[in-house]
Amino acid sequence: MSQTLPPGVSAEEFSRALKLLTGIVGEQHVQRSEEELAEYRDPYSFAGRDEFVPSAVISPGSVEEVQAIVRLANESRIPLWTISQGRNNGYGGAAPRVRGSVVMSLRRLNRVLEVNEELGYAVVEPGVRFSDLYDHLRAGGHRLMISTPDLGWGSVIGNALDHGIGYGVYGDHAAGACGMEVVLPDGDLLRTGQGAMTGSKAWHVHRRAFGPSVSDLFMQSNFGIVTKMGVWLMPTPECTLVGTASVPREEDLEAFVDTMRQLMLDRMIDGVPTIASALAVAWLIAPRENWYQGEGPVPEEVVAEIGRNLGIGRWTVRFSVYGPQAVVDAKFAAIEKAFARIEGAEVVGATYPGDAGADIVAPPHQVPAGIPNLDMLESVKWCGPQGGHVGFSPVLPLVGSVVREQRDRVKRIVEKYGFDHIGGLLLTPRSVQDVVMFLYDVTNHEQVTAAYAACRELIVETAKAGYGEYRAHLDAMDLVADQYDFNDHAMRRFTERLKDAIDPAGILAPGKQGIWPAAYRSAPLS
Amino acid sequence: MSQTLPPGVSAEEFSRALKLLTGIVGEQHVQRSEEELAEYRDPYSFAGRDEFVPSAVISPGSVEEVQAIVRLANESRIPLWTISQGRNNGYGGAAPRVRGSVVMSLRRLNRVLEVNEELGYAVVEPGVRFSDLYDHLRAGGHRLMISTPDLGWGSVIGNALDHGIGYGVYGDHAAGACGMEVVLPDGDLLRTGQGAMTGSKAWHVHRRAFGPSVSDLFMQSNFGIVTKMGVWLMPTPECTLVGTASVPREEDLEAFVDTMRQLMLDRMIDGVPTIASALAVAWLIAPRENWYQGEGPVPEEVVAEIGRNLGIGRWTVRFSVYGPQAVVDAKFAAIEKAFARIEGAEVVGATYPGDAGADIVAPPHQVPAGIPNLDMLESVKWCGPQGGHVGFSPVLPLVGSVVREQRDRVKRIVEKYGFDHIGGLLLTPRSVQDVVMFLYDVTNHEQVTAAYAACRELIVETAKAGYGEYRAHLDAMDLVADQYDFNDHAMRRFTERLKDAIDPAGILAPGKQGIWPAAYRSAPLS
């Protein structure tokens, strides 16, 4: 097999550049062999797919090394693909968009730089995982609770930068970020928000400073490399309530969604709630063969039966409330009252002391209580031990009829391609991220390509209805970006203008989120 | 008096450009006479100050006209200074940073384009004032409550773009904005967030889309002209509680601030609370002569006595809680409990039905209940009927000792220049905007210039301690921006790089927030 190289770079040029890069970080922090690079391929793609593969991996140990690498990449025109942990396997893992990119792994930058218990924040480096931050806070005896996503192995920074969601009060992780340090594509060092002042003492307590705020520019973009970030944390509450509400009938979905919207707009629910169908709950419990042995998508009557057998209804929502007992009780009463309007709805809640910590053992209750785990990792094996998945995640207004309409659209297309309709609805007070998971066997080439094809059809059909994705697999980034087409793609024209100004050599993550630097726009890869 | 012209533009060139501009909007929407332009000077500066004065005012009636004006300004190199309402008199009102700019007033774009009661938002044009939006919602019978700042005459969009604060749940107005339409400095039209998709149905319910979010770039900047914006609104709650807590002694400030921080981090308070000294409360009630007739700053013993006489303590905070009665009661109990730890603290609360509306007549209770008024306008007359003011507004961590240290610093400098120390502390859970108001008689040239000098000294001294301003008068924009100096002013270098990419001709609001386009950087005005 021939050597993987960056586009337009000869083996000799690459070898010379890599020698210089090695000089920056040391031999042991550069990986080049096939075996070593395997970890940086898309783990859930079919074997042999060679589009999204790196030429090397380099792991700097300091911000200065990141700057030096970036400067060298500018000189040698080597595209860099930065990862914090690179654990977002449903969207491509650590794999780069452009074949032959050098992956810059920030896993070695793994320090929790500050914990401020009084003001409720921590400052972390990109290699810090949710589990690391949790462990650090416990070890220090800090009375602070993190918001963790389903899997605790991801980077706190990487997740926020990708607009990721957890389940706590600051579950919109991008919104809970405050103050960044960023290495720009030319190697310059920027601090955002109040951090733009030397010696600022308000860097991580106030998001804005004087003039435009630029932090959001470094999320889901290829405009810079975030090397430090403040993350807001909730003081450990007097008590944590993890509740579920469920409704019995498939057709209850609209009323269910509308009830949740009113509760959220009224601020009766504190964490980010998730709605799941009975099939999605089953998926989290055991592989498919435990529930259904037939061919084709699991039929509706089986799904309904699973719901009844598990006692979770046809639709269920997990939610959380945090605070003094009396406030939590009053909010829970309001939640019960709201659901009482739906016939057959059931609401249950489990209350824990805020500092219960490791005493909470049920994984679905651990996560809203801010305790990271890897429990959900098993669920990828829905179709067998070599399971994989790819996600499709549009954003919809949080309105029952809209969610219903989209669900029918998705179900039709998902089942046409032979998949089960599984996923979860992540709610904000006004919107919902309707995450659809295509679960497949990675050794089944046909099934994997069918999943990608289904995604593409969903992206186009959903855009026709007026809804776009919040995140996408490497394979779909251009197509998703294409859908944001108002005024002859004014947004893409604008972000590419910014890209050219910030990264004139076009070395940082070309193609990420569909943003291509000038050189790639004039000579496309394919 | 000679004609005011834009820098480097001859009277003939200007006349030609103005003729073309008039062709776009019509004769009646262009103002040129001294009398007409007087309204667009800084209303609180001394007479005859001719630095921040426009050459003309143009008022487009549509987005297309805004685009046409911008394109023409590019051709004729006329700097444009955009205002929504231009009512922010403490920071310069409608006056432009660069003498001779053409002020583009957006007051004619005054439609409420949409109200979505189900999803809790409205879409407004820049000319819509808080009072207009309030009236519109009442006229339509919508069960939605706005967040209003102290004065209801400002633009909803303009206030958010300037990082302004109101007192409701969405009182951080910049954070409550969702989805913009923006005319770029080259006349192109951009829609941010989900609006970047043609026909998006999620434009105003979800702030982010795919790729970096750029909305924040158009706040406190000169990167574009916002012509539409979504603004999140709270559903009318079952009840609104407006409360005050007060403490008796000057030295209670630290404990007062720390108690508020804990309550806010614990989410026991919903609206944006404000802490005021007894003198600031007196200021809102009646002019200075009613409280003190001596020379020099009002002495501490008089301030303490005012507090005792008014029954408001030495420090008082106004806060608000919204929701079902039981939840509001539980939160209020938590607030009472927290303040019980400070000897002599008093907490009182008035509860209104959420839809009490016009039945709430006390102006300080109207504002947190989302009812705009102009009550506070009188307070500018502290030093006499020709009163004016300029603001100094650093951002501090919400920590008692920090607030104390800054208070002592401010008091020393404010009193050195002969002013009373008046203002208010606007709280977020982790930070405080310490708004200091220099109140003067605009006919007293010496007093006005002393206020500017005091501001400048405060800006520099406060930066040495690690704190920067969130907003500034035209006069101080460069100095404030200067303080954000990390890594050889990396932030300014970055925003100016963006400026040059987005506005290569440098026609939009040069110098706003200290951001100058390339042409002005190479040939400074002064």
pLDDT tens column, A250-293: 999 999 999 999 999 999 999 999 999 999 999 999 999 999 99
The residue in chain A having the minimum alpha-carbon distance to the alpha carbon of residue B184 is A494
Minimal Cβ distance to B212: which of A196, A210, A217:
A217
Separation between Cα atoms, residue B27 and residue B140, nearest integer Å: 35
In angstroms, the separation between the Cα of residue B289 and the nearest Cα of chain A is: 36
User: CA of A470, closest CA in chain B: separation in Å?
Assistant: 5
pLDDT given for residue B362 in this prediction: 84
> Helix/strand/coil (H, E, C) string of A231-246?
EECEECCCEEEEEEEE
Q: What local confidence, expressed as pLDDT, does residue A525 receive?
A: 63
CB–CB contact A327 B234 (8 Å)? no
How far is CA B292 from its chain centroid? 30
- Counting DSSP H helices and E strands in chain A, the numbers are 15, 19
What DSSP character marks residue B288? G
Over range A506-513, report the average pLDDT: 98
Query: Mind telling me how many Å the CA of A232 is from chain B's nearest CA?
Result: 9
- Determine the distance in angstroms separating the CA of A22 from the nearest CA of chain B, rounded to an integer: 27
**Token pair for B369:** 């209940």
Return the CA Rg of chain A: 23
> Could you give the percent of chain A with pLDDT greater than 70?
99
CA–CA separation, B507 and A398 (whole Å): 41
CB B373 within 8 A of CB B363: yes
Q: H-type helices in A266-399, by residue range?
A: 278-285, 300-310, 325-339, 363-366
Residue B134 has pLDDT above 70, yes or no: yes
Give DSSP secondary structure letters for A416-480. Answer: HTT---EEEEEE-SSEEEEEEEEEEETT-HHHHHHHHHHHHHHHHHHHHTT--BS---GGGHHHH
Distance from CA of B128 to the nearest CA of A (A): 22
> Is A470 part of the annotated catalytic residue set?
yes
Q: Is B245 left (phi over 0), alpha (psi -120 to 50) or beta?
A: beta
For the question of residue A409 being annotated catalytic, the response is no
pLDDT-wise least confident of A31-45, A306-320, A464-478, B64-78 = A31-45
Per the DSSP assignment, residues forming a β-bridge with B387 are B441
3-class secondary-structure state, position B209: coil
Q: Chain A contacts of B484, Cβ < 8 Å?
A: 196-197, 209-211
- The pLDDT value recorded for residue B179 is 98
| Partner A contacted by B491 (CB < 8 A) | yes
pLDDT level of residue B486 (50, 70, 90 thresholds): very high
Rounded CA gap, A251 and A254, in Å?
7
Q: What are phi and psi of A246, to 5 degrees?
A: -140, 155
What's the pLDDT score for residue B525? Answer: 63
CA distance B22 to B69: 9
User: pLDDT tens digit string along B334-381?
Assistant: 999 999 999 999 999 999 998 877 788 888 899 999 999 988 888 889
* Optimal mutation site among A67, A184, A205, interface B, most CBs of chain B within 10 A: A205
Which tokens is A234 given? 């909730």
- CA A177, CA A203: separation in Å to the nearest integer? 11
The pLDDT of A439-452, averaged and rounded, is 93
Q: Are A125 and A110 within 8 A, CB to CB?
A: yes
Both structure tokens of A66? 């990141």
In this structure, are residues A441 and A384 in contact, taking their beta carbons and an 8 Å threshold? yes
The answer to whether the beta carbons of residues A442 and A44 sit under 8 Å apart is: yes
Nearest residue, CB atoms, B468 vs list A209, A212, A333: A209
CA–CA distance, B424 with A464 (Å, rounded to integer): 50
Number of H helices, E strands in chain B: 15, 19
Query: Under an 8 A CB cutoff, do B214 and A494 touch?
Result: yes
Chain B hits for A262, CB-CB cut-off 8 Å, are: 235
Q: Give A349-380 as a DSSP string.
A: EEEEETT-GGG---HHHHTTTT----GGGGGG
Interface probe for A, chosen from B210, B259, B462 (most Cβ of A below 10 Å), is B210
Q: For the residues A176-190, what does the mean pLDDT come to?
A: 98
B8: left (phi over 0), alpha (psi -120 to 50) or beta: left
Coil, strand or helix at B191 = strand
CB atoms within 10 A of CB A524: 9
| DSSP notation for A19-62 | HHHHHHH-GGGEE-SHHHHHTTS-TTSPTT--SS--SEEE--SS
| A444 and A41 Cβ atoms separated by less than 8 Å | no
The number of angstroms, rounded, from the C-alpha of B278 to the middle of its chain's C-alpha atoms is 23
SS3 assignment, position B337: helix
For residue B356, what pLDDT is reported? Answer: 78
3-state secondary structure A162-221: CCCECCCCCCECCCCEEEEEEECCCCCEEECHHHHCCCCCCCCCCCCCCCCCCHHHHCCC
pTM above 0.90, yes or no: yes
Measure the CA–CA gap between A323 and A326, rounded to whole angstroms: 8
B 279-318 residues with CB < 8 A to A: none
pLDDT for position B381: 92
Reading phi first (left if > 0) and then psi (alpha if -120 to 50, else beta), residue A421 is in beta
What percent of chain B is modeled with pLDDT above 70? 99
**SS3 at position B412:** helix
Which amino acid is it at B296? G
Q: How far is B468 from chain A (nearest CA, A)?
A: 7
| In chain A, residues 27-56 whose CB comes closer than 8 Å to chain B | none
Establish if A120 touches chain B: CB-CB under 8 angstroms.
Answer: yes
Q: Cα B8 vs. chain centroid, distance in angstroms?
A: 32
Query: Considering only alpha carbons, which residue of chain A is nearest residue B163?
Result: A208
Which of A192-196, A335-339, A400-404, B388-392 is least confident? B388-392
Query: Residue B90 has what DSSP assignment?
Result: G
The neighbouring-strand residues paired with B189 are B183
Which of B210, B215, B498 comes nearest A513 by C-beta? B210
Mean pLDDT of A307-316: 95
Question: At a CB cut-off of 8 Å and minimum separation 6, what does B353 contact?
Answer: B238, B239, B240
The shortest C-alpha distance from A494 to chain B (Å) reads 8
Query: Across chain B, which distance is largest between two alpha carbons, in Å?
Result: 71
Identify which of A343, A477, A304 has the alpha carbon closest to the alpha carbon of residue B210.
Answer: A477
pLDDT band for position B522 (cuts 50, 70, 90): confident
Residue B339: what residue type? F
The residues with which A247 forms a beta bridge, in sequence order, are A315
Nearest to B330 among A219, A223, A326 (CB): A326
pLDDT, one tens digit per residue, over A60-78 is: 999 999 999 999 999 999 9
Residues 6+ apart with CB under 8 A from A96: A40, A52, A53, A54, A79, A81, A103, A474, A509
Contact criterion met (CB below 8 Å) for A281 and A275: no
Interface test with A, best of B208, B231, B461 (most A CBs within 10 A): B208
Specify whether the CB–CB gap between B211 and A220 falls below 8 A.
yes
Q: Is the pLDDT of residue A526 over 60?
A: no
Residues of B in contact with A206 (CB under 8 A): 395, 428, 430-431, 470
**In this structure, what token pair is assigned to residue A463?**
């855009």
**What residue has token string 């941010």?**
B192
> What is the per-residue burial (b if ≥16 Cβ within 10 Å, else e) of A177-187?
bbbbbbbbbbb
Binding-face residues of B in 354-393 toward A, CB within 8 A = none
A403 contacts: CB under 8 Å, gap ≥ 6:
A253, A254, A257, A396, A425, A432, A434
Residue of A nearest to B194 (CA): A468
The model's confidence at residue A175, banded by pLDDT at 50, 70 and 90, is very high
**CB B261 to CB A118 under 8 A?**
yes
B232 CB neighbours in chain A (<8 A) are 430
Per-residue pLDDT at B526 exceeds 60: no
- For the packed helices B63-76 and B11-25, what is the interaxial angle rounded to 10 degrees? 160
- Whether A218 contacts chain B with CB within 8 A: yes
Residue type (1 letter), A296: G
For the CA atoms of B484, B485, B490, B496, the dihedral, rounded to the nearest 10 degrees, stands at 60
Are B470 and A209 inside 8 Å of each other by CB?
Answer: yes
Cross-chain residue pair A430–B330, CB shorter than 8 Å: no
Of A92, A267, A121, residue with least CA distance to A194: A121
Instruction: State the pLDDT at residue A109.
Output: 98
- pLDDT (tens digit per residue) in A348-388: 999 999 887 778 888 889 999 999 998 888 888 998 899 99
Nearest to A445 by CA among A128, A13, A85, A48: A48
Q: Give the mean model confidence (pLDDT) for residues A436-461.
A: 95
End-to-end CA distance of chain B: 21
Nearest to A173, CA basis, from A237, A124, A110: A124
Q: From CA A406, how far away is CA A522, in angstroms rounded?
A: 37
Hey, of A484, A496, A516, which one would you mutate to test binding to chain B, going by the most B CBs within 10 A of its CB? A484
pLDDT in tens, B141-156: 999 999 999 999 999 9
How many CB atoms lie under 10 A from the CB of residue B362? 11
pLDDT in tens, B201-244: 999 999 999 999 999 999 999 999 999 999 999 999 999 999 99
Residues of B in contact with A210 (CB under 8 A): 220, 468-472, 480-481, 484, 513-514
- Residue B399: the pLDDT is 98
**What SS3 state is found at B378?**
helix
% of chain B beyond a pLDDT of 90: 91
Is A257 an 8 Å CB contact of chain B? Answer: no
